[in-house]
Amino acid sequence: MKKYFLIIVLIFSLSFSSKLHAQLPVINMVTTTDTVTYWGARMIAFVTTKGGWTVNSYGFIFDTLPMPTRATGAKILRVGTTNCPENNSYTGTVNSSSSFMASDKTYYVRAYVAKTSGGNDTVFSNPMSVTTLSPNPPQCLMDSIYDIGLTYARFAGVVAAKKDANAIYSKGFVYSYLSNNPILGNAINVPSGGGVSTFPFSFLGYQNNLISGNKYYVRNYLIYRYLNKTTNDTIYSDTISFKTLHACGTIPSNVQVDSVTQTTARLTFIPGLAQTKWEVDYGFAGHLIGTGTTIMATNDTVDLVGLIGGVSYTIYVRAVCDTVYGDWTGDYTFTTVPPLCAPVTNISVSNFTHSSADISWMPGSPTQNKWEVLFAESSDNFPTIGIIKEGRPPVFNPIGLIPRTEYKLQIRALCSEHTSDWSAVYYFNTLPRDLQDEIENGIEKVLIYPNPTNGTINFKAKEINNFTKIEIYTSLGELIYYSDNLPEFYTLENQVKGLYLVKIYSKNYVQVEKVVLN
């Protein structure tokens, strides 16, 4: 019995010693960075020996944990099941959805060989790391915003390049007036078709129902997917802004006035798009905007009332949009129908000398051709019956006048059945017979003409250097001009009509003259 026990122990010992000294496969990682992409890498391992194994699986195992195992959920990249190389290398490339790596991650990779014959067993190499790349998203650009109207606009975008995207599924535009970085979910989406396969690729969008006069922010977007993902990503272009047209951004056009009478007229104009309210400003010709009569109109035809016959008016129009006002139109001038016998205007004197003058005026209407003129020295009363003048142009030429004398006149129109009101009294002075007449007792005087004047008075003297200064005062005593030199002329055009006092100083004499501004 003892003999049999020793034999059994010897056989067990030999069997255990044989297993203990059997050779295992030897495998090492060579590289994991041969060809790195955003979804994986090409990995190389070297099998020194299979250790006598019948290998039925070999490849790589990888995870983001430092020591990848199946127990930790690591991914398997099986290179083969048979024909495992010995004293040679094998290569594995990540190229399927089951083995894709995530982008911009560090993975730890081990090579392995496995067998099932004679019992399951696996041998692993030491780990080697690799970091995947970050993918480049497709590139989209805003090209332009055009055909901008009151409530609509058109968008143009470009898919410039696909980059690393595996597929582009859809595209479009997003816009908002609340956010300057609109995105899907917080802005209005304007889809623009499906996928894109050729690059660059242009696409368009159109949107109406916008708010007039409002500022909007818009950019385009692409929905795409990377090769190593099962969900979509979205990329946006830079944001650009635009502003829809405002109803008050257009000036009313074709301003016209018709149906003109002595006291009324009808204004018409063409409104700008979507305009519903306007401000009309009208007044005597040449008036400043804001100083005339203002009307708020809700119709493009406006009746003007309370006008004066025979008077020229200037009119302006602009659009009103709540609290926003448009620009004014240019001035438009019209003249009301004159009364049956309108008074004359613009009396003036020209070509006057020491004994004569040419007096002209503006008739009250185009049909007037007969007038009565009252004429006298300023110190005398007007005659009861005046001089009748007929024909065109209207002119009165008195002769035989007294030098350096002030005269006055009034004119009224004589119509077939009516007479107009008399004009205002007009004054003027004849010239001296000769400049020498102004020298009295060795004192030289300055000749001031014309007087009365419609604006400009001239100064004439033999020796201009004899005069040391000049002052001009209003009838209220306000000094409006001063100079140490006698000018050739001075204009009163911006002054109020009336009487002015001119004081001219010489070394031993002060000349004082009255000047009338008509």
How many angstroms from the chain centroid is the CA of residue 359? 56
Please give the share of the chain, as a percent, with pLDDT higher than 70: 94
The burial of 477, by beta-carbon neighbours within 10 Å (0-12 exposed, 13-18 middle, 19 or more buried), is given as exposed
The burial of 430, by beta-carbon neighbours within 10 Å (0-12 exposed, 13-18 middle, 19 or more buried), is given as buried
Q: Which one of 96-110, 359-373, 418-432 scores highest in mean pLDDT?
A: 96-110
pLDDT the model gives residue 20: 42
CB 371 within 8 Å of CB 414? yes
Q: How far apart are CA 247 and CA 325, in angstroms?
A: 10
Q: What is the mean pLDDT of residues 21-43?
A: 89
Q: How far apart are CA 160 and CA 139, in angstroms?
A: 5
In CATH terms, the fold of domain 20-131 is Immunoglobulin-like (2.60.40)
pLDDT the model gives residue 158: 97
Q: How far apart are CA 497 and CA 516, in angstroms?
A: 8
CA R_g for the chain: 53
Mean pLDDT of the chain: 89
E strand or H helix that includes residue 18: helix 2-20
Q: What is the mean pLDDT of residues 240-246?
A: 94
Q: What is the mean pLDDT of residues 246-275?
A: 92
Q: How far apart are CA 371 and CA 393, in angstroms?
A: 11
Q: What are phi and psi of 331, to 5 degrees?
A: -70, 140
Q: What is the mean pLDDT of residues 204-218?
A: 94
Q: How far apart are CA 221 and CA 142, in angstroms?
A: 9
Angle at 134 between CA 128 and CA 138, to 5 degrees: 150
Model confidence at 410: pLDDT above 50: yes
Q: What is the DSSP letter of 400?
A: S
Q: Which two tokens stand for residue 75?
A: 């991914």
Asked if CATH classification 2.30.40.10 holds for the domain at 139-243, the reply, yes or no, is no
Q: What is the DSSP letter of 271?
A: P
Q: What is the mean pLDDT of residues 42-62?
A: 95
In CATH terms, the fold of domain 345-429 is Immunoglobulin-like (2.60.40)
Q: Which two tokens stand for residue 40?
A: 């994986």
**pLDDT tens, position by position, 449-508:** 888 888 899 998 888 888 889 999 887 778 899 999 899 999 987 888 888 989 998 877
Q: What is the mean pLDDT of residues 88-96?
A: 94
* Residue 85, amino acid: P
Q: How far apart are CA 107 and CA 74, in angstroms?
A: 10
pLDDT the model gives residue 243: 94
Any idea how long the chain is?
518
CATH placement of domain 251-335: 2.60.40.10
Model confidence at 353: pLDDT above 80: yes
**pLDDT tens, position by position, 38-51:** 999 999 999 999 99
pLDDT the model gives residue 476: 76
Q: What is the mean pLDDT of residues 141-165?
A: 95
Q: H helices within 87-224, ranges in order?
A: none
The pTM for the full model equals 0.56
The per-residue DSSP string of 202-256 comes to EEEEEE--PPTT-EEEEEEEEEEE-TT-SS-EEEE---EEEEPPPGGGS--EEEE
Domain boundaries, the chain: 20-131, 139-243, 251-335, 345-429, 435-517
In CATH terms, the fold of domain 435-517 is Immunoglobulin-like (2.60.40)
* Residue 119, amino acid: G
